Amino acid sequence: MNPKKIALLVVTAAAISLFFIFDLGRFLTLAALKANHQALLEFSAAHRVPMVAGFMLLYIVQTALSLPGAAILSLAAGALFGTIQGTIYANIAATIGATLAFLVTRYLLRDLVLGRFGSRLEGINRELESRGFNYLLFLRLVPVFPFFLINLAAGLTRLPLRTFFLATMLGIIPGGFVYVNAGASLATVDSLADIASPRVLGSFALLGLFALVPVLHARWKNRGIDSQ
């Protein structure tokens, strides 16, 4: 491994370690967001561009390093920027962060990720290799697997970067919108569990099934050919 890759790994490991050593996760809670909501709104009103840039950078880093707090950041997007703009900012940032995690896994952490999650990723890898865009879109729409785990799994495959980027950007829109929209009415949110209700999850599952139709059709067609 060349010195640049080693340096990048050291910086990444250090950033993750500092997050947990200083318990920075305490700032990414619903209680903390509500307590600081007014102050953040006032700062955003006076410094709109730095606030948007800082928020997106924070979201990118959180996603790229697979740190906890994505749901809170999506709520914050709605609370600070409104439903439409918040969804746009959160979607772009989450997609960029996921893409960075994908690239780091593919080019730097392949052996480490395989050693840690190999057995859990076998099925996902197999489907991503053969079904590509539609299967990844299904995984993004339906929260069957953790977001960060999908990033890692995709990085181990030969899935094209463009396919990963587009499927991720499109697939996270519905879920992101739900959280951002909830954040726009932050005062009414008492628990993250209230947002991801069975009805909402059922809607995601229905969307995921539509994305999976081409995959299922291809499987049925292949089986028909094999049986002839």
Q: What is the pLDDT of residue 195?
A: 86
Q: What is the pTM of this model?
A: 0.86
- Nearest-5° Cα angle at 100, 60 to 78: 25
Full residue range of the structural domain in which residue 207 is found: 3-227
Q: Tokens in use for 74?
A: 């999506």
* Cβ(129)–Cβ(158) below 8 Å: yes
Task: State the maximum Cα–Cα separation within the chain, in Å, rounded to a whole number.
Answer: 69
For residue 159, the 8-state DSSP code is: -
Q: What is the pLDDT of residue 165?
A: 97
Which amino acid, residue 120? R
Q: What is the pLDDT along the chain (228 residues), one digit of tens a residue?
A: 678 788 888 898 999 999 999 999 999 999 999 999 999 999 999 999 999 999 999 999 999 999 999 999 999 999 999 999 999 999 999 999 999 999 998 888 877 777 777 666 777 777 787 778 888 988 898 877 889 989 988 888 888 999 999 999 999 998 999 999 999 999 889 998 878 766 676 666 667 666 666 665 556 655 554 555
* Cβ(159)–Cβ(133) below 8 Å: no
CB-based burial of residue 211 (10 Å sphere; 0-12 exposed, 13-18 middle, 19+ buried)? buried
Number of domains in the chain: 1
* Cβ(182)–Cβ(195) below 8 Å: yes
* Cβ-Cβ contacts under 8 Å for 169 (sequence gap 6 or more): 91, 92, 95
Size (the chain), residues: 228
Q: What is the pLDDT of residue 177?
A: 92
Q: Tokens in use for 221?
A: 């067609």
Q: What is the pLDDT of residue 125?
A: 75
CA dist., res. 8 & res. 4, Å (int) = 6
CA dist., res. 165 & res. 153, Å (int) = 14
Q: What is the pLDDT of residue 84?
A: 97
> Which CA distances in Å does 121 have to 19, 64, 129?
26, 19, 12
